[in-house]
Every structure is written in structure tokens, then in C-alpha cells.
Amino acid sequence: MKVFSALALIASLAVVGCSVKVLEATTTHKQVMDQFVTKDQIIKKFGLPTSKKTEGEYEEWLYDYGTKTVTDAAAVGSSYAGTRSTASVLGAAVAGRTTSGNPAVVGAATGGAASNSAANSSAKSRTITQDFKTFIKFTLQGDKVVTWASNGVDYSTYQKVRKRLSELR
């Protein structure tokens, strides 16, 4: 009986030890946004736009979610913080992951102003902050959506899945 228990323990450790749980997109932000093809669908999901602009036969609807400030807390106290660039430091914050039906309003790689302040030359005192405009913009022709753009908003849905380490490479 002890031998069987030991073998079961070793087998379960081998399976668990060789895999990790990761977030995998079940629906991408683009797939969600591409589902909006009429004005009625947009109004039903987002309500009335913050602003409207008309140019010829095209109408632009803007949903302005304001400005989001992202500060890199990981750089503070990190032994290699001084070697990372502003873009790579903010990369994790820009991802905008969410597991619920609500969007994650986070920074994106465009439209922001960055500041990098250091109290002294030590990497441990370094913080990196960046401001991002967050919005969704639809271009309409009549009742139909022609195109859309977004910045700092992610409507993707994710689920945790177990992956073998060999699959992650």
C-alpha cells in the first residue's frame, strides 16, 4: 500500500510539476469590437457617445474614458530596474487583461507622456510613470460602422488553462 501511495504521489508531482496555469484569450478585443456593426448595437453596449463629429457622409462617435496614469512599481526595488527601457517597463501594464465581462481600462503604447524620475543614481529609487488617453472611437456611414479604434481599453475575455512547459516555448 505504501508503494502504491508513493508511486501515485510521484506520478502526480510529475504531471503538476511540468505544467503551469496561464491566461489564454477566449475572445480577443478585436473580435468583440468587430461585432458592433450598427448604431443601435453601439448605443445598446456603450450608451450615447461623449462627442460626435460629422465630416461629409461620415460621422465619428467618441467614447472618452479620460486619462489613466500607469506607474511601474516593479522597477522600484528591482535589482535590474535601471537596465529596462520605459517601453518594456510599461509593457505589462499596457496589456489590459480582464477575466470578467468589464473592460480593463489601461494604458496603450500610444498617446501618452512619460516621466522618469530618479532621486539618485540608484536603480532602487527609480519610478516610471506614463499618462494614457483611453477611448473608443467609431466611424459610421449612415447606420453602419465603417471602422473603429481604441486606446487603453480591452474587452478581451480570458480563462485560466493548464499548459505544459514545453508548449510555452
The alpha carbon of 167 is separated from its chain's Cα centroid by a whole number of angstroms, namely: 23
Asked if the model's pLDDT at residue 125 lies above 90, the reply is no
Mean pLDDT of the chain, nearest integer: 73
Question: pLDDT of 14-62, one tens digit each?
Answer: 555 577 888 888 999 999 999 999 999 999 999 999 999 999 999 999 9
Asked if the model's pLDDT at residue 117 lies above 60, the reply is no
Q: Which residue type occupies 164?
A: R
Residue 67 or 59, more confident = 59
* Phi, psi of 46, rounded to the nearest 5 degrees: -110, -15
The residue ranges of every structural domain in the chain are 2-168
Mean pLDDT over residues 79-92, rounded? 38
Percent of the chain with pLDDT over 70: 58
User: What's the CA gap between 114 and 105, in Å, rounded?
Assistant: 18
Its pTM surpasses 0.75: no
Q: Which residue type occupies 86?
A: T
Place of cell 484569450: 25
Question: pLDDT of 96-115, one tens digit each?
Answer: 433 333 444 443 334 444 44
Give the model's confidence band at 74: pLDDT under 50 very low, under 70 low, under 90 confident, else very high: low
Whether 72 contacts 90, CB under 8 Å: yes
- CA 148 vs CA 62, 94, 138, 144, 155: distances in Å: 10, 19, 4, 11, 14
Q: Where are the alpha helices (DSSP H) in the chain?
A: 2-17, 29-34, 39-46, 86-94
Question: Ranked by mean pLDDT, which of 63-67, 110-114, 121-125 comes out on top?
Answer: 63-67
Provide the pLDDT for residue 2. 72
Mean pLDDT over residues 80-94, rounded? 38
Provide the pLDDT for residue 72. 75
Provide the pLDDT for residue 11. 64
Whether 148 contacts 14, CB under 8 Å: no
Whether 142 contacts 3, CB under 8 Å: no
